[in-house]
Chains A and B, each alone.
Chain A
Amino acid sequence: MRYLGIILFLIVVKIYSQDVLPLSSIKDLDALKESGKGKVVMVNFWATWCKPCVSEFSSLVKLYNDYKDKNFMLIFISVDVPEDIESKVKPFLQSKGVDFVTYYNKFDKADDLINYFDTKWEGAVPSTYVYDKNWNQTANLVGSRSYDIFEKEIVKDLN
């Protein structure tokens, strides 16, 4: 019985940590920003329909696993439509071994989400932003990149 309880607990923890949470307001983004203070944060905008996003995804997951114990936070924000979260986004994340909380766009106006990160960004994905421990933007990468380039961008801010 005790073992069943432990197994159930572990399943719940696993499910919870694979949550894909909606971002629908500036308040949500401010809370995310707050949670990243004191860490080097990489924010990656992606979608299951975006080929280059899918091809760079494993590099980003590897980067997360390599640096998660070194004050590095990776925030994935999917711009898939909310209707595709259960049927496409979650299965994709599971197939890539993502075992941490990620997010999806639920803003009424795409402009609000896009402009929060970069007023010069028109919304092309993949796009990746890197922030130092004080949330100063130190890299702005439109288009896919390799592991080495992603790593270089976060290492420069990790002291």
Chain B
Amino acid sequence: MLKNMLLTIILCLTLTPVMYAADNPSPKQPGDRIDDFTLKGIDGSSYTLSDMKSSKAVVVIFWSTECPFVQPYRDRVSNMYNDYSKQGIAIWAVNANNTESLADVQEHAKKNDYPFPMLKDVNNVLADQLGATRTPEVFVIDPNSNVVLYHGRIDDSREADKVTTSDLKNALDDILTGKDIAVKTTKQFGCTIKRVEK
């Protein structure tokens, strides 16, 4: 009787986090280490984290062709790409939406003339690994240790003229000056990532 009770308790404790993770993935937080990954860009090239060891940071931003919370960031992220890529920081936009085909993403990228690489996360593999749930959502990764340095939003307003804190920029500036990132985690509302049915 006691053996059965103990077994039940152990099963509940081990299964519960798995069940939660399957429905609502827990995002990787600053300090967490992630696995190496490779995604195909919409330009046909491969993008691998472990190839980026000469970069000071790799910024992954989950993106969408449709989310009205993402579109207003086109100029801000394009400008950041133009500024920070010269300083050794890579910025990769990642589309993990099952509802947006490669062709949709290619057309959208062309129409918006994005200067930054756009990667397609087929079957949400990277989104699942990082625990990403919305667009836009940012993970800044150290490509030498594979540790997450910053997780959260680009800044605090959808509208460029209402921004009061540029959280991602602040984090990147801290990285470039060798400082510990002052604000490592932020949150913001955004659209859900449209995952495949598994």
Chain A interface residues (CB < 8 Å from chain B): 45, 47, 49-52, 79, 81, 105, 109-111, 114-115, 120-127, 140, 142-144
Is B189 within 8 A of A125, CB to CB? yes
Is B187 within 8 A of A114, CB to CB? yes
The B interface is mostly helix, strand or loop, or mixed, namely loop
Is B159 within 8 A of A49, CB to CB? no
Contacts of B156 in A (CB 8 A): 109-110
Whether B121 is near chain A, meaning CB under 8 Å from some CB there, is no
Partner of A49, one of B23, B27, B69, B153: B69
Contacts of A120 in B (CB 8 A): 24, 26-27
Q: What are 29 residue pairs bridging A and B, where the CB atoms are less than 8 Å apart in the complex?
A: A45-B189, A49-B69, A50-B68, A50-B191, A52-B191, A79-B189, A81-B159, A110-B153, A110-B187, A110-B188, A111-B186, A111-B187, A114-B187, A120-B26, A120-B27, A121-B187, A122-B132, A122-B134, A122-B152, A122-B187, A123-B190, A124-B191, A124-B193, A125-B189, A126-B192, A127-B192, A142-B23, A142-B24, A142-B192
CB proximity of A48 to chain B, nearest CB, Å: 9
Alpha-carbon distance between A125 and B187 when the two chains are bound, in angstroms? 12
Smallest Cβ-Cβ distance to A109: which chain B residue? B156
Contacts of A81 in B (CB 8 A): 158-159
Task: Give the number of residues in B that approach A within 8 Å (Cβ atoms).
Answer: 25
Contacts of A140 in B (CB 8 A): 23-24
Alpha-carbon distance between A51 and B26 when the two chains are bound, in angstroms? 24
Alpha-carbon distance between A110 and B164 when the two chains are bound, in angstroms? 13
Q: Mark B19-61, 1 if CB is under 8 A from A, else 0.
A: 0000110110000000000000000000000000000000000
Whether B133 is near chain A, meaning CB under 8 Å from some CB there, is yes
Contacts of B100 in A (CB 8 A): none
Q: Mark B166-191, 1 if CB is under 8 A from A, else 0.
A: 00000000000000000000111111
Contact A143:B192 (CB < 8 A) given known A49-B69, A122-B134: yes
Is A125 within 8 A of B66, CB to CB? no
CB proximity of B157 to chain A, nearest CB, Å: 8
CB proximity of A19 to chain B, nearest CB, Å: 22
Is A122 within 8 A of B158, CB to CB? no
The 6 residue pairs across chains A and B that have the minimum distance between CB atoms: A124-B134, A49-B68, A124-B192, A79-B189, A123-B189, A124-B133
CB proximity of A23 to chain B, nearest CB, Å: 13
Alpha-carbon distance between A47 and B158 when the two chains are bound, in angstroms? 13
Contacts of B186 in A (CB 8 A): 111
Contacts of A142 in B (CB 8 A): 23-24, 133, 192
